[in-house]
Structures are given as structure tokens and as C-alpha cells.
Amino acid sequence: MKPLRLGTRPSALALWQANWTRDALEANGVPVEIVKIHTKGDVDRNSAIVNLGAQGVFTKEIQRALLLGEIDLAVHSLKDLPVERIDGLRLTAVPVRADFRDAFVSNRFATLDELPPGAVVATSSMRRQSQLLRRSNGAWDVRPVRGNVETRLKKLDDGEFDAMILASAGLNRLGFGSRIRHFLERPDFLPAVGQGALGLETRADDAETIARVAPLADEATFLSVLAERSLLATLQGGCLVPIGALGSLSSSTQSAQTNAEKSQTLRLDAQILSFDGKTAFQTVATQTFDAALSDDDKQEITEQLGRDAAQTLLDQGASDLVAEIRRIRDERAGLNAPQN
């Protein structure tokens, strides 16, 4: 059997994800060859993410290689994968999600609430920055930090920051789970869209690879992140806008005389914040449906739930906030600079 060529970024975390995917596929009898591909986000480790320009700084080169047939399969951290569909590609499988929560890491303080006014807190995420500023009412000094997980932790250990917020999934995958002091929980702290989940992407017409990858798919995770991604697409926010979302799928059985009816309920928590954290809109949307529905019907219901949640946020007043966030984001990225 010809090995699947699996494309991945070369970072330690991306390679963990690739190795996990390879091991899972090979356990099903599918040989895999890992192909390392450098992306814009890997090359420029100093600029803030918002200054790197368009969406997909961690995925575009990998997707290009997939379209060109240089690889057969791509593995992404799903929170890095833009929601815009690319002709010729498909998100074929989303495996079981890891811990979606953000983690508080500090050598001086046990919890977020112990941080005094003026404490310096580092994060690589605009969403986390907004959430922290809102939680502290602007009392904490929240600063951006770039680099891989090891680099960021070293900066913390060197005393540059009092605390740091990172994704718990990444810390656990790289063996740094013991550094977690406590977790940031909803409703105040919702994760990034797709956080903790992997996305396995193939060419849309590659039936053989699709069939070989399909056993890794987890329905509950797929529907949960599909709702989150639908919300994000409707808000047209991209990963640089402070949007948090968390989908969750539960199942239940109701007995009616001799028949047992199984249903599934999808819940979507969603929030959008201003960069300074002073303004925030939040909602919870739910939808129950028959567990026996076709996959296509379930996906349609799920995507509609995401759109409905987004519209609720917009109706609350988030439309003006979204427009202002985009303007500030574009200014920071230099997209509004005069052209010579």
C-alpha cells in the first residue's frame, strides 16, 4: 500500500499532531510519510499575529501543497484553519477533541484572581487579551507574546511576565501539563473556535484518501466545531477578532410506550468582545434533533445554529463592534496605509 503523504508545519506542537495522526492511521493499517512544510507563521516568529496580514498564516502553504498533489493529507490545529472554503479541498475528519480550555500558568500566583493590579500577563491571542482586560477591568498589564510554547514558557521563567495564558491542549501534548495552575472556564472565558481539535484536510476528489482517513472522525467533535466555525463565518471575524465559542453535543433517549427515540442536543456558547474588553456580547443557542438524521441533515442544522447564534449577537449590537474591530485590525496590519 502506498503511504499517505501527510503535510504538517515543523513546530514541535505541529509535529506532535502529525505523529498522533500517523500513529492513528497506521493502527488502522494505513502507512504514512510525514512531509514538513514551512508557513509564514513559522518563518516570522517575532511579529504579532495581527501584523502578519491575511488569514491562514499557518495553513496556506500546506493547503497549496495539497492542491498541487505534493501531499495527500494535511493536519491542522483547527483553530488555525480559516473558515473560508477552498475549492478542491475538504475538511474530511475531525478526531476526538482534546481539552478546549485555556490554562493559567504562573510561577508566582496560583489563580487568575490572585493577580494584583499592574500584574503583567502574556498571551498570544487577541481573544484572551480582551477577556483578561474585561475580567480585570483594565487593571492588568496584558502583553502579546510570540514563539513556540517552550519559548514562551522560558520568557515567563526569566521573569518577563507574572503570568501567562496558553491553550491547555498544547501544554498537555508537549508534556507541560504540570505547569497549569488552573483553567479558565466559561461563561467568562470561552475558547477560540476549534481550540483543542485537529482538522484533517484532503483533496475533495481524492476518494481513496478520504476513505482511509474517515475512521478517525468523531461526530460529536465535528458537529461541535462545525457550529463554532459557522458562527465565525457569519460574523466574518477571522482568527484575529476577539470571538470565543464552544459547541457541545449531548445525546438522550426517550421511551414512548414500546419505542425508544434517541435525540441529540447541540449547544453553542458564543461571545464577541472589543479589543479593550470594555464591550462584550454573549449568547447561548441550542438545537435538538433526531439522532437518526442523515449526516447532511445534521450538518445543515448545525451550521444554521451557528448562523442563528451569530445573528443574535449582531442583534444585540455586535454589528457596530465587528465593524470597529475590523477597522482597528486592518490599521494594525497596515492594510489601510496609503499606496504610493
How do residues 69-95 score in pLDDT, each as one tens digit?
999 999 999 998 989 889 999 999 999
Which of 80, 99, 102, 162 is flagged as catalytic? Answer: 80
Residues 73 and 210 grouped into a single domain: yes
Residues 316 and 228 grouped into a single domain: yes
Quote the domain boundaries for residue 163.
Answer: 102-184
Residues 157 and 279 grouped into a single domain: no
Residues 71 and 206 grouped into a single domain: yes
Angstrom CA distances, 7 to 40, 76, 145, 201, 287, stand at 15, 9, 27, 10, 36
Residue 240: CA count within 13 A, CB half-sphere = 20
Q: Say yes or no to pLDDT of 42 above 70.
A: no
Q: Are 192 and 244 in contact (CB under 8 A)?
A: yes
Residues 293 and 251 grouped into a single domain: yes
For the chain, the domain total comes to: 3
Residues 208 and 92 grouped into a single domain: yes
Residues 31 and 120 grouped into a single domain: no
Residues 91 and 212 grouped into a single domain: yes
Residue 108: strand, helix, or coil = coil
- Does any domain span residue 278? yes
Residues 207 and 244 grouped into a single domain: no
- 80 given a catalytic annotation: yes
- β-strand partners of 102: 167, 184
Q: Say yes or no to pLDDT of 211 above 50.
A: yes
Residues 90 and 204 grouped into a single domain: yes
- Does any domain span residue 338? no
- Does any domain span residue 162? yes
Q: Say yes or no to pLDDT of 289 above 50.
A: yes
pTM across the whole model: 0.88
- Does any domain span residue 339? no
Residues 211 and 66 grouped into a single domain: yes
Instruction: Provide the pLDDT for residue 13.
Output: 93
